[in-house]
Structures are given as structure tokens and as C-alpha cells.
Structure 1
């Protein structure tokens, strides 16, 4: 029986934070250790160029994200871990898919429509002002990422479901036009149990809001950030509602069920915000201390990270080459015999 294939991409435009860990990294690393699943994890560095045109930022983010996943226990013997830009077959597949993809489908992309709406709201005479072909064609490249390895499942947030549907559309059209079962139709997996962690200001933790807590900041910086988490004006001794508290949510995302229940009781007993923040810091710091040490060691040895990614790329390209040879023949670009 063939393994179920699961694929996850990580855009390399920033530093991983607690929200990334809880929402994506932690469940993905657990899946990477499942022998019944063939997992593909990649640094989506070609996608990053759509948003970031600062070479140093992209390069540093690639290193930080790779080090983060390795420090947190990604099983690279079971899972295939690689850089998108190392798999040259992916842009080639993106071109083949773009030749069967209707422009009207891209016109309906949420990201493109949002960019057009922003221009119109700003009173721009050109609705496409500042919109690159990278942004417009983003769903095609994402489809190539998925279809290259015929992933069965793609874990995504709700805002990404449309892209999986577009990948299915392109796969189906290609299969129909070239009369073969070249591509598996992927399915979006949205885990409703995965929490969206709130940031320092109570909104969703996001680089866009500048409200994140980076995973591997120093102890001193971590304490400073935890103390900045927004709370209300209730005094010590007054009961507090844990369900509306960012501090409690962050604690619960890392704590056991029993520990969360104990903290919930202390909220009802009126724990002071200063004491609560100190306890959350101590808990997070203890939880992250060992992976932080591994992360710092990895960041000081980029040659090792490069070795791991090159090995992953070799495994990925072995599969990609086989599929692309088949697809080239299908479209009439095969070798002369």
C-alpha cells in the first residue's frame, strides 16, 4: 500500500514566531515522524520573491526557517525537506500548467482581487498598478509545488483553500487535454483544532501587525515581550476570564491539559497580571530552552543546514525528474529517439 503524501510549504519572508509554531510547525513535525505518511516540507523561497525584494532578508529568512524546523525535530530521514528553488523542474511544470490554466481562473484569485480592490480604493486609474505577474500567477506556481509530487493532502488555512481548488482545476484540465492520469487531484486539509494564536496586542499574531514573539529570542528579550502582552485593568484578587486572555491562550498552546486547568483555576482565584506574565515566561522559556540551543548551534553552522537541504533536494529531484520526463513526452517535448 502506497503512503499518503502530504505537502507543506513555508514562505521565507520573516522570522518564525510562536504563532507559526502552534499553527503549523508543531503539527507538521509530528506528521514528519509518521512512518505511514510521506511528507514533503519545502522552503517556498520562489514565492517569497513576490513579497520581498530584499535579498538579505530572503537569504536570512531561509536560514532561520530551515534552522527552526531542524531544531524542533523535523525527521529528515522520513520527510523530504528541500528548497523550492533547488527543484528546477517546479518552474518548468508551472509553465506547462500555465498553458492549460484559464486566465479567468487567475482573475478570481483572492490575492489578485484584493490588490485590484486596493488600487480602486486609492483612486488609481490603472486597476493593475503595481501588480506583478508573480502575484497574478502565484496560484500556478503553488499548483506546481503540489502536483510535482502528486500530494494527496495539503494542510492549509481557510484563506488558502481556493489555491488548492485551482490546483485541482489545472490538474484536471491537463489530464483531460493530454488524455492521461498524470496528476492526483489534491485535497485541502483545514484542521479546525489548530489554534490561531493571538499576538502582543490581542490580534492574530502576524508579522504584518508587528505583534509577534519570535520563537528563539534570548531569555531577556522573551521576558520583555511577554510583559508587553496586552491585559485588562483587573487588580490582583479579582477573578479574570481566561477565555478572552491572550496570555492564557499562549500558555495553553504549550501547556498540558492538566497545567491549563490549574492555570484556569488560578485565573478564577484572581492571579495578578504580573505573576501570570512571570509564570508564562518561565514556562515558555523552559519549553524552548533546548530547541533554542539547537537553533543557535545550527545558525552557527550554515554548511550543515546546506548539506541537509541538498540531500533533501536530491531526493525530491529524483521524483521530479521522473514525472517531468513523462510530462514532456505527453506535451510533445520528449527526446528524439
Structure 2
């Protein structure tokens, strides 16, 4: 039986929201319980430093994200769950890859080009003003995350496909320069079935837009946020289009086929927006009540979370150290004896 190696990173710059759950956490938890998948899930806290300069925010985000994934059922016996910063081999590999990576490849990275374009649009004389080496070389660190464990499948959104292609380029270049099959070439996995939820204002749910519904807010806060979701001016009794409605989109992301079909019928019959929002709140609250309770228990016991992360780091480092020994020898940095 061929074991598929799947790797996913979670940037620690905020609090997990419903969109994160539907788009990343739920499918990852399911994969972590599959014995035919070797899963690696890590808190991308080194990546977080590119955007976040608030140490308290990064630290709190790491804790909240770890607690969220554990509360939602991540199988840490089957999957390897760790903090990126605990596996120092990642940064060493990033340097080895930097030494075979063409600068021109990094010049084409979408994030870097977007930052340059913003400066040019603002009329800034220096197009690189405010651009750190962390932002510029982000794809190299991401490639190291992937190649360190020879992951062959990397679930990503379409905006991240370029980074996987760059990782393939670096892997191939290293293999060529040092004349060996040191790295497998990873494949981007873009699952079109994975939903992207809209937020309170109808745009994509994102921390950048400040329109998110955090996963584990209190019942009172959850109700308040659901009631803030933007709707149109159609009155009760008037048929409504579920395909253009954020309320229906979120409901159907959590509900089963039968419940979704029933709600679609009620939209056709003219359900009122107040009733639709109450229905969504009740459904979300029931779905999240158990995990919310577990989440609060975990946050109250950070020592337990730390133990889980340390065990994950030990497993990750055992594998990473063995691979780095081979790579050090390949580039001439091996032991004398």
C-alpha cells in the first residue's frame, strides 16, 4: 500500500473563523483520521512574523489555533502536528534551498510583485520600500516546509499554486546540482469542492476585511454576529434566491443534504430574514457547542496543549534530522567520521 504524504500549514496571525473551518480544518481533520494518509499539520509561526509584529498576538494565535484543531478532533496519533519554529531543520533547509534558488524566480512571486505594484501606484521612488527579506524569500521557507518531509500532496487555494510550482523548481534544481533524488516533486491539490464562505458584508470571509465569524465565540456573540450578516430588502413572503445569500451559503456548508433541501424550499416560500438568521444561529450553535466546550477546556490548560505540540515536534524532528543528515552530506557539510 502506497502511503500519501500530505502537508498543510496554518499561519498564526489570527483567530480561526467559520471560513477556516470549512475550507481547511474540516478536510484536514478528516484526512488525519485516514490510515492511508501520512499527514503533517504545522503552525506556521515563522511565516506569521512576515506580517505580524505583535508578539502577544502571535503567541495567542498559536494557542488558539492549536486548541481549535484539537477541539475539532485532529488525530495526533496518526497525523504529525507541530509548530514550525520547533523544527529547526526547516530553517537550515531553507538556506540550502536559497543557495540553489534563482533570484529571478523570487522576483516573480505574486506577493512580492503585488507589494512592488502598491509602491509604484503610490508614487514611491523606491519600489522595494517596506519589503522585507522575509516577504521576498517567503516561497523558499514554504518550499523547505514541504520538502523537509517529502510531501507529495499539498492542499492549497489557487492563490498558492505558484508557491508549489516554485518548490518543485527548487527541488528539481537541488537534485540536478547535487546529482541525486533527494526530493520528491510536490503536487498542489486544489479541491474545487472546498467552499469559500462569505463574511458579514458579503465578501469572502477574511481577517483582512474584518468580516469574520470566529469559530468559538460565545452563544450571545455568535447570535449578534449572525444577525449582522448582510441581506437584501425582500420582505417575508417574497421568494428569495439562496444562491446569492450568505445566510444560505453558511447554513448549507454545515447542514446535510436533506436539511439544505428543506431550507432551499423555505427560501422559495419566502422565509423572512429574521427567521433565516435565527435558524442559522440555532444550527451553528448546536454544531459547535461540543467543540466550543472542549476548546475552552484546552485554553484553560495550556500545559496540555504544550505537551501535544512537543510530542509532535519530537516526531517531526526525528524524521527531519535524518533527512537533513543526508542533505548536509550531499552539499559537503557532513561529518568527518
User: Which category of TM-score, normalised to the shorter sequence, fits these structures?
Assistant: over 0.9
Q: Tell me the CA shift for residue 252 of structure 1.
A: 0.3
Q: Deviations over 1:68-105 (max 9, x none)?
A: 00000000000000000000000000000000000000
SS at match of 1:38: strand
1:179-198 matched pairs, under 5 angstroms: 179-198=179-198
Tell me which residue corresponds to 2:108. Answer: 108
1:280-295 matched pairs, under 5 angstroms: 280-295=280-295
> Normalised by the size of structure 2, how large is the TM-score?
1.00
Tell me which residue corresponds to 1:230. Answer: 230
1:137-286 matched pairs, under 5 angstroms: 137-286=137-286
Q: Tell me the CA shift for residue 3 of structure 1.
A: 1.1
Would you say how many aligned residue pairs link Structure 1 and Structure 2?
337
Tell me which residue corresponds to 1:305. Answer: 305
Q: Tell me the CA shift for residue 2 of structure 1.
A: 4.0
2: CA distance, partners of 1:118 / 1:77: 45
Q: Tell me the CA shift for residue 204 of structure 1.
A: 0.1
Q: Deviations over 1:196-244 (max 9, x none)?
A: 1000000000000000000000000000000000000000000000000
Tell me which residue corresponds to 1:19. Answer: 19
2: CA distance, partners of 1:332 / 1:276: 65
Structure 2 segments unaligned to the other structure (5+ residues): none
2: CA distance, partners of 1:2 / 1:193: 25
1: CA distance, partners of 2:243 / 2:296: 34
Tell me which residue corresponds to 2:128. Answer: 128
Tell me which residue corresponds to 1:314. Answer: 314
TM-align CA RMSD: 0.4
Q: Deviations over 1:249-297 (max 9, x none)?
A: 0000000010000000000000100011001000000000000000000
1:70-89 matched pairs, under 5 angstroms: 70-89=70-89
Q: Tell me the CA shift for residue 67 of structure 1.
A: 0.1
2: CA distance, partners of 1:2 / 1:297: 38
1: CA distance, partners of 2:321 / 2:194: 35
Tell me which residue corresponds to 1:41. Answer: 41
2: CA distance, partners of 1:202 / 1:221: 19
Structure 1 segments unaligned to the other structure (5+ residues): none
Tell me which residue corresponds to 1:52. Answer: 52
1: CA distance, partners of 2:189 / 2:4: 13
Stretches of 4+ aligned residues off by more than 6 angstroms? none
2: CA distance, partners of 1:8 / 1:301: 25
1: CA distance, partners of 2:282 / 2:328: 56
> Normalised by the size of structure 1, how large is the TM-score?
1.00
